[in-house]
Structure 1
Amino acid sequence: MPHLPRPTLLALCLPLALSTAWGAVATPAAEEKAAATPLVRPLLSERSQDDASGLERQLPEHERQLLQAGEESFLALWLPANTAEAEGVVILIPGDGESADWPVAIGPLRRKLPDAGWQSLSVTLPDPQSTAPVPRPVDSPDKARADTDATAADSANKPEVTGSAGNATPTPESTGEAGSAEPAQASPEETAPTPTDPVALRKLHAERVLARIQAAVELAEQHKPRTIVLLGHGTGAYWATRYLGERTPADIRNLLLVAPEMPRDFQPPLEDTVPLLNLATGDFYYKDKVADRESAQRRLQASKRQKSPNYLQIGMYALPADLSTEQEQLYRRIRGWLSMHLEPIEHP
């Protein structure tokens, strides 16, 4: 192999050396820039939003209603009555983890009630207790760098005390045993509820749920129905009851509870609120389930103490091996209550 002349060899090696040196200089700058840029994590959507998106793709457009509750929109499903003149509107409120077309109670009732002369409106509720991820506060790069420098300087200036064996002995500041040090006083900003505070989250969740029910009621009122019935399934029964107790709408005098449950960490229990509403109430429960039977017994005893003549309990049998028959049984019981125990609204 012929040897290259020395000038030619230098000319070939010089660009390689310059590129290596430039890379060594540019790499720390690029790393510093990447470290200074805050990492922005995309917010995850709630499960209820994903379920609603699926329903929007599956159901026809004439059933879908996009309602507004505060600053957020949500999906509701509307079906008109299959009669010339509707009896009224039944607003169906699903429980935790259920969609507006849930295959148990909510979906079958919303499709079957129009055959009995009722308009149905099923709503979408937010995820239980507003479990959507809370975004972390993003500090500016200058503040993050200043905090890092201050921490490093504090560690360098702190003296290290060693024992006889040469091991580091913790200082009073590190063990918290300094007797003369006064406890630090928390500022008002530090004691204020944070976005992850459980009480604040429950309050925010309740406001979101009640706002959505209110939006559904307003949509139902646009159709000028004879009467409006609120029906809650599972924990939706709690929210229907709470809405009626806090908002006290004058044009809703009928409440239906289907297998009612309490949302986790929420109060007061249904036996303390349902009898006080003094509304025509149908309480449907499954008497072969021990927990349902015991909670239904407490609600019945409370209604007797409050002398609630319009409170009626209807016990049913669960048929887990035959879901279609179980849902048909529920529909027939609901239809019977609407035809025999409904309290009509007197319009002026």
Structure 2
Amino acid sequence: MRLHSLALLGFCLLSCPAVWAEEPVEDAPADSADAPAASERPLLPERSVSDAQTLEQRLDKREQQMLQASAESFLALWLPANVGEPSGAVILLPGDVENADGAAAVGPLRRKLPDAGWHSLSLTLPDPDGDPLPPRSAASETPAPTDGEATNGEDESVADVAPEQTTTPAATELTAEQRRQAHVERVMARIDAAIAFASQQQARDIVLLGHGSGAYWAARYLSERQPDNVQNLLMVAAELPAGFAPPLDEMVAQLTVATGDFYYKDQATERMAALKRLQASKRAKLPTYIQVSMKALPGNLDVQQEQLYRRLRGWLTLHIRAAGS
């Protein structure tokens, strides 16, 4: 009987800690569902805004011009012609993946054109919204923790970020077509501002020069707005931005300005698109549309840039149309 009582007492002593462990601790934090929601991570600015901020830090302040387009200001890069009597101003529009000092074409051209007697004004264009990508958030820029640093709490904080926290309310309220139209209006307003600035510099002739998708925006602007003081268009490696219409060959047929269409014949897609534009110009009987093929030199970018500059300079010398003519 004594042995039985001792065994029973031992069992009770062993089982008590298990019971105590299952009881809730009064000082434990409240359930995560009752905790305040994690603060939303701020959206990063548009890529074009980030690029502009980098250019502001890197380039001479005398080159920088903050222009006003509707309700927003944007960076443009200005270099005056290196001659006593400038021929005019060339306004450069970069492609979607470029900035106002892009290394592929816009940057070298804006620096070389002043030696040919032309002011250069290179624009920062807003990010494209025709085929929108998810907005960048601070979370997407943060490096992932290493295996030794990750914790359950960190995993939950990432999972708790809802999709709507990575988009702005304005973007969610607009349809895709409305976002495209808003982008068109932003681009057109910036070109308006650039032309107004060039006119203030007493530019005798103003030329729009677009590279990549920038060529599309230059052509569309001239096709729709038809400004009296811009009678010349230069397109380099023209591209149609994703999600936008009409195609470039349709717009080319409607242009009444002197047009130089420069393309790289080595690229099959670019060559076929250039052929469609040429055929459209012939059907429309455009006497001032000139197409120039070039050879791409990806292994020697400096030579390719010099080739492009010389071809453009030749066109500006031989085919410029004075405003009002």
Letter in 1 for 2:296: A
Pairing 1:1-348 to 2, within 5 Å after superposition: 23=27, 28=30, 32=34, 34-35=36-37, 39-129=39-129, 131=133, 133=135, 194-195=172-173, 197-346=175-324
Letter in 1 for 2:269: A
- Secondary structure, counterpart of 1:330 in structure 2: helix
Tell me how far apart the structure 2 counterparts of residues 310 and 203 of structure 1 sit (CA, whole Å): 30
Identity, in percent, stands at 55
Contact 1:235–1:260 (Cα < 8 Å) also in 2: yes
The alignment of Structure 1 onto Structure 2 pairs a total of residues equal to 266
Runs of 4+ in 1 over 2 A off after TM superposition: 27-33, 38-41, 130-135, 193-197
| Cα displacement (A) at 1:30 | 10
Provide Cα deviations, 1:136-180, integer angstroms capped at 9, x if missing partner.
xxxxxxxxxxxxxxxxxxxxxxxxxxxxxxxxxxxxxxxxxxxxx
| Cα RMSD, aligned residues only | 2.2
Contact 1:195–1:201 (Cα < 8 Å) also in 2: no
Structure 1 alignment gaps of length 5 or more: 1-19, 136-192
| Cα displacement (A) at 1:346 | 3.9
| Cα displacement (A) at 1:203 | 1.2
Structure 2 alignment gaps of length 5 or more: 1-24, 138-170
Contact 2:228–2:324 (Cα < 8 Å) also in 1: no
Letter in 2 for 1:287: K
Q: TM-score, normalised by structure 2?
A: 0.77
- Secondary structure, counterpart of 1:276 in structure 2: coil
Contact 1:46–1:132 (Cα < 8 Å) also in 2: no
- Secondary structure, counterpart of 2:42 in structure 1: coil
Tell me how far apart the structure 1 counterparts of residues 172 and 294 of structure 2 sit (CA, whole Å): 44
| Cα displacement (A) at 1:31 | 7.2
Larger Rg: 1
Contact 1:97–1:128 (Cα < 8 Å) also in 2: no
Tell me how far apart the structure 2 counterparts of residues 308 and 212 of structure 1 sit (CA, whole Å): 28
Contact 2:88–2:204 (Cα < 8 Å) also in 1: yes
Letter in 2 for 1:254: N
Q: TM-score, normalised by structure 1?
A: 0.72
Instruction: Report the CA distance shift for 1:259/1:30 in structure 2 as closer, same or farther (over 3 A).
Output: closer
Provide Cα deviations, 1:108-134, integer angstroms capped at 9, x if missing partner.
110000001000000001112165739
| Cα displacement (A) at 1:53 | 1.1
Tell me how far apart the structure 2 counterparts of residues 237 and 125 of structure 1 sit (CA, whole Å): 12
Tell me how far apart the structure 2 counterparts of residues 227 and 218 of structure 1 sit (CA, whole Å): 13
